[in-house]
Amino acid sequence: MASEAIASRRWRRPPPIANPRLRWAIYGGALIYLTLAIASIEVNWHRVYEGLDRGWRFVQGFLFPDFISRFGDIVQGMEESLTMTVTATVVGVAVSVPIGIGAARNLAPLPVYLGCRAIIALSRSFQEIIVAILFVAMFGFGPFAGFLTLSFATIGFLSKLLAEDIEDIDEAQAEAIRATGAGWWQLVNYGIQPQVMPRLIGLSLYRLDINFRESAVIGIVGAGGVGATLNTAIDRYEYDSAGAILILIIVIVMMAEYLSSYVRKWVQ
């Protein structure tokens, strides 16, 4: 009797897909697809070889950047980009807060919720470059189109994350504020705001840094900023000036990163 109780029983972690045939069919199918997909990529090795030379010159430009000869253009582009970034972030955040509150199911009545969610979906479904092309067509070349693009993109990003943060709050704290007889605005100010504020500040700073990087990209389609300067430099094969611009972008993004991590620690 004792030997029966001690007899060892094998144990293995149950596989994620129980049916072995289905399991091997899925693994095998994925492998075959991957092989065929890689095989279907056409590579023109001759063209790659030619491009290596140009790539090398680009690397050289990066190693020996030229800040001087296009100094005026670079400063103007940077100024435009920074202005666009800051104004678009401020306006975007200011618009995102009410939309984010409206898009939180635990705060907003259904029609408001649906309306705000629709705005967010619209803003998120278009990539910045496409929006920028549209705004450039509407308002002409220059930083105003860029400002509108970045504001629009900020709204989709920040409202959605804010709404999700509001939906994730500790309901007990909000319930306690409701129980005191507080009105709706007081509930938001006392029960919700303290819980979401650190994340809102962190996300705004994160968005500031995204907006700066995006400002360099949308400049390429004519929305002003340092992107336009960069595009011109590359078109003229002035890789040393382009290298200088890229280095400046990297430095500014790193500074923003450092600043935002410092501020985030401080607001926690």
Partner 1 sequence: MLRIEDLRKRYGSGEEALTGVSFAVPAGQVVGLIGSSGAGKSTLIRCVNRLIEPTGGRILLDGLEVTALGRRALHRVRRRIGMIFQEYALVERLTVMENVLSGRLGYVPFWRSFTRRFPQRDVDTAFALLDRVGLSDYADQRADALSGGQRQRVGIARALEQDPELLLVDEPTASLDPKTSRQIMRLICEICAERRLPAVINIHDVVLAQAFVDRIIGLRGGAVVFDGPPAALDAAVLTRIYGEEDWAAIQRRGGDDDEGAPGIAADRLAGLA
**Which x/- pattern over 28-47 shows residues binding partner 1 (rule: CB under 8 A)?**
--------------------
Using CB under 8 A as the binding rule, whether residue 264 contacts partner 1 is answered as no
CB of 197 to partner 1, least distance (A): 7
CB of 181 to partner 1, least distance (A): 3
Q: Which is nearer to partner 1, 115 or 198 (CB)?
A: 198
Q: Which residues contact 96 (CB under 8 A, 6 or more apart)?
A: 154, 155, 157, 158, 159, 162
Using CB under 8 A as the binding rule, whether residue 94 contacts partner 1 is answered as no
Asked if 242 and 228 touch (Cβ cutoff 8 Å), the reply is no
Work out the burial of residue 144: count CB atoms within 10 Å of its CB; fewer than 13 is exposed, 13-18 middle, 19 or more buried: middle
Q: Which is nearer to partner 1, 19 or 189 (CB)?
A: 189
DSSP H or E run through 192: none
Q: Which is nearer to partner 1, 202 or 225 (CB)?
A: 202
Cβ atoms < 10 Å from Cβ of 166: 24
How many residues of this chain bind partner 1 (CB under 8 A)?
21
Q: Which is nearer to partner 1, 91 or 169 (CB)?
A: 169
Q: Which of residues 183-202 bind partner 1 (CB under 8 A)?
A: 183, 185-186, 189-191, 194-195, 197-198
- For 24-50, letters b (16+ CB in 10 Å) and e give eeeeeeeeeeeeeeeeeeeeeeeeeee
Q: Which is nearer to partner 1, 87 or 195 (CB)?
A: 195
Using CB under 8 A as the binding rule, whether residue 175 contacts partner 1 is answered as yes
